[in-house]
A = this chain, B = another copy of it.
Amino acid sequence: MRTLTVDLGDRSYPIYIGAGIRKQKSLFADAIKGKQVMIVTNETIAPLYLDDMVALLSSDYQVDTCILADGEKYKTLDTYGQIMTSLLEAKHNRTTTIIALGGGVIGDMAGYAAATYQRGVDFIQVPTTLLSQVDSSVGGKTGVNHPLGKNMIGAFYQPQAVVIDTDSLKTLPMKELSAGMAEVIKYGLICDKPFFEWLENEIEALMSLDAERITESIYKSCEAKAKVVALDEREGGIRAILNLGHTFGHAIETEMGYGAWLHGEAVAAGMVLAVDLSCRMGNVSSEELVRTVNLLKAANLPVLPPQNMTKDAFLSRMILDKKVLDGNLRLVLLESLGDAITTSDFPEDYFNACLEDALEASRLN
């Protein structure tokens, strides 16, 4: 098992990474302060892992469960209300601990419930997908979607601990493994060129879930994210670089309808657009753009936007993105491979050409 600490002063917390560690009671006991535990999970994960977790904890705590429908389309205020009702019906008080057992949707919703139940209770993340392990379980972003925009409702709220059991990837569909790998590759692109090169060498082993390399890639990803988050907990500045490809990606996700494209798939296509724009601006070489595309392809990820997407659709969706400051579109771009910045200073014609060329390539593909 490897352990990493996210350094946020009195909100610091440990991330544990290893095979089979969801059965290590002490990791939970160290983080639970009260006598009550509410495990929030979904209908897909419950049959796989819920019984084990209830059995692990029920001798020491009042353990209740809240099993939600599975899928991004249920990441709503209504489902969040269901968690609140479960907590109140089982008479959980302020000293309760919520355990989020599942992927990013469960983590975001259970975290938001923890942030706002009786104005804030403790929670522990047990992310079961690669995406949630390397992204949404680190950094304290919690929330739900609104019909008019993704992640528009939420709070910054830190967990007491994150328990990442790499064994849970064995039950993950390949498509979702790829989607998670998009975020792993992102860390190489934005802040760690040696890690990017390591990924180029190890991508086959990673896609076959080689235990040691998977643990290493999650550790490096969490470490990269933890470093950025520690510098900027509430996303005033540098933290925005974590959104490489996401402004384009959110536009794809929203336009196609939540769930049609996986988040990581949309981010992969979005990252290619961002690296392409960085390339046209002379910040990265054509060879580096090709290497980026090849690495994403090796992870079975899309590198072009959807065929039926238009430039206008991109533009109107991107205007409402949280990264827009007073109508001025800001993007995360690369200054060089392994070094990202957030800027609204990019030539508009390059930006348009990137979108047009990619959409054209997608239609021809």
Contacts and interface: CB of A to CB of B under 8 A. Distances in A.
Contacts of A324: 93
A237 interface: no
A152 B326 contact: no
Interface string A286-325: 0000000000000000000000000000000001101011
Contact of A117 (B84, B93, B117, B152): B152
Given A93-B325, A146-B88, A117 B153 contact: yes
Contacts of A85: 146, 148
Given A93-B326, A118-B152, A119-B143, 4 more contacts: A91-B319, A91-B320, A93-B322, A118-B154
A5 interface: no
A66 B35 CA distance: 41
B84 A155 contact: no
A220 interface: no
A71 interface: no
Contacts of A326: 34-35, 93, 95
B116 A116 contact: yes
Interface string A81-94: 10011001101011
Q: Give the copy number.
A: 2
B153 A116 contact: yes
A84 B152 contact: yes
A20 to B, nearest CB: 32
Nearest to A325: B95
3 closest cross-chain pairs (CB), A and B: A88-B148, A119-B154, A77-B81
Nearest to A91: B320
A120 B325 contact: no
A333 to B, nearest CB: 20
Contacts of A146: 84-85, 88
Interface string A104-121: 000000000001111110
A120 B143 CA distance: 11
A141 interface: yes
A346 interface: no
A78 to B, nearest CB: 8
Contacts of A95: 325-326
A120 B84 contact: no
A338 interface: no
Nearest to A154: B119
A116 B115 CA distance: 10
A149 interface: yes
Nearest to A96: B326
Nearest to A77: B81
Contacts of A117: 152-153
Interface in A1-57: 34-35
